[in-house]
Chains A and B, each alone.
Chain A
Amino acid sequence: MVSEPEVKVATGLTRRIRTILSFSYYSGILVVIRSPGMIIFSSTTPFTLVFFLFVVGGKNYLPIGVIGATISILVSAGLFLGADATTYRIQYKFQDFCVASPVSAVEYLLGLGLGEITFVAPSLAVIIGLYAYLGMINWNFPLVIIIMLFAWVLASALGFFLSTYILQNRSAFTITSLVTTLLTVIPPVFYSITKIPPNLRFLAYLVPTTHLSILIQSMLGLQKYSLGQIELSWATLIAFTVFFLVLATYKARWRQP
């Protein structure tokens, strides 16, 4: 064994950034490069729904369907993180390896979350292409990107939080698929909230993805909402995102009780 050169290991913010980039590269980018087939699986459900809406509702329904697909893809990516994090914890014992290191739960979650984005990046590229094709890109589009970021952070934090409480690996996919359906298929994500009878809309408002949909539809001029409604949706979206991040940071089982 030869003597080794002195290495300065980064601390603080630089270390955190390296941690996040490392996990996103090794859990996402590299896996996609080596197994590109995994991309197809991640994109199937949202585009199937868009196709179904196109067949049933015609071209007029396509813009709302594409917005639904955007939310569905990002929320699915976040919740698939939950399934993957469960597997990493139970089957690979990788979470334990990370717990006994400077890596924090939030860095782990963001690293894996960015990795999951890699799997859906081609789908998102197609979605952006569809936005352009359907003439949906306007000056509000940067705000739409910010809303997309909220969707990803919110779902990733929820997915990670849930993963730390799932006791069996085989339950992980079932639970995250169920939550994905509850968040993206049942609430008004692929359709307008105006389709729901007014006396039942309060139920839809309890679901964060409803607000994602309202905001994107409004930003792109597909649906008119009152200013009060827009403000309420922003406030609810921010509150949900902060709430799930706090859950993931302080209530997730990083170190086992």
Chain B
Amino acid sequence: MKGILLEASDIAIESVGLSKTYGKSATPALSDVSVTIPRSKIFTLLGKNGAGKTTFLRIAATQLKPTSGKITVLGFDAVTEAGRVRERIAAVPQEMRPFQALTPYDHVMMSLTSRGWSWKDAKPKARRTLEELGLGSYEDKSTDDLSGGLRQRTLVAMALATDVDLLFLDEPTIGLDPIARREVWKFIVELKHRGKTIFLTTHYLDEAEAISDRIAIISKGRLLKVGSVQELKSSIAENVRVDVSSGFSEEELKRYGKVSRIGEILRVLTDEKNANDLVSLSIGRHATVNVSPISLDDVFVDLLGVEEEEKPSW
């Protein structure tokens, strides 16, 4: 599944028929994934646990070898020219943890100096990056004494400080509070404006929707859809979401569209005409009704629902 047509110089990552099977497993973790990821954009890979997000990211970040297929990163083959790729990328692995005896400042300094920065240049850069990520007042505290969110931000700072062309962030905001998440988002968007490419994986649909230029939805190792938020939303037939909180049965609502239950609320994905009919009927029955455009969340659930029906996972 290809994204958009781009000039070679505009492509950050391009995979063709990329597959990965771990050991002697019968099920591939990644299956025939072909995708083009543009430069200077934020690209998000979205999927459930075990969907293949991290496997794709690890192959692209030269941490893992694919079983078959081809992948180029910033114009270099990620398998045979890994050294050239590694000079231009940084990656924060999923579930990475900071070292207990070190401070956030030490971590960023280690990241920079191990890449060849002089101590003199690294010091102001480390302090500036920590300040920008809201870690300024914690930079000299042991990471042992920091909250989970601050530790996570420390790890993100290690990669963000490097000033490389392409950043891989595997679930970078996991465990962060909403304010901290927004600080990381703000910094990621700023990096994009500086011409950097950011490859994210996330479970958070609001995160994907808020900052991504392009999103790919992956399930069971296969890419289901690639596009901008708007393109993904318009890829399903229904464009309106109607939440009804009482006065209707699930069966009754099915003739208006796709129905799902979220707690006490019945959610109907439908088109504008059916939404109008449903709202009129709800008012007549004195039922509480909320109408809104569909969100990425609805696209995600719709796509994965279809996928589940097509290929049961027994």
Chain A residues close to B by CB (< 8 Å): 1-2, 4, 7-11, 14-15, 18-19, 21-23, 26-27, 30-31, 34-35, 91-94, 96-103, 111, 255-257
Distance to closest chain A CB from B145 (angstroms): 13
Q: Which of B84-92, B244-252, B276-284, B300-308 contacts A (4 or more CB under 8 A)?
A: B84-92
Nearest Cβ on chain B to A93's Cβ, whole angstroms: 4
- Which 10 interchain pairs have the tightest Cβ spacing? A15-B116, A100-B91, A10-B116, A22-B113, A93-B96, A93-B93, A96-B93, A100-B61, A26-B110, A22-B114
Interchain CB contact under 8 A, B90 and A31? no
Alpha-carbon separation in the docked complex, A93 to B89 (Å): 17
Contact residues of B with A, CB < 8 Å? Answer: 58, 61-65, 82-83, 86-87, 89-99, 101-102, 106, 109-111, 113-118, 121, 125, 128, 132, 158-159, 162-163, 168, 187, 190
Q: Which of A35, A91, A101 interacts with B114 by CB under 8 Å?
A: A101
**Residues on the B chain within 8 Å of A8, using CB:** 121
Contacts of B115 in A (CB 8 A): 9, 15, 19, 101-103
Q: Which residues of the other chain, A, contact B111 by a CB distance below 8 angstroms? A: 97
Which of A8, A15, A26, A97 gathers the greatest number of chain B CB atoms within 10 Å? Answer: A97
Given contacts A97-B158, A100-B168, contact A1 B132 (CB under 8 A): yes
Contacts A1-B190, A96-B58, A97-B91 given; indicate if A7 touches B163 (C-beta within 8 A): yes
Q: Nearest residue in A to B98 (C-beta to C-beta)?
A: A92
Q: Which of B65, B96, B116, B132 contacts A255 (CB 8 A)?
A: B65
CB distance from A250 to the nearest CB of B (A): 14
A-B contacts at CB below 8 angstroms, number: 113
Cα distance A31–B101 when bound, in Å?
Answer: 6
Among A11, A30, A91, which residue has the most Cβ atoms of chain B within 10 A? Answer: A30
Nearest-Cβ distance from residue A237 to partner chain B, whole angstroms: 31
Q: Tell me which residues across on chain B come within 8 A of A1, comparing CB atoms.
A: 132, 187, 190
Q: Which residues of B contact A94 (CB under 8 A)?
A: 96, 99
Chain B residues closer than 8 Å to A14, beta-carbon distance: 116
Chain B hits for A4, CB < 8 A: 125, 128, 163
Check B118 against A10 for contact (C-beta < 8 Å). yes
Contact residues in A for B158 (Cβ distance below 8 Å): 97
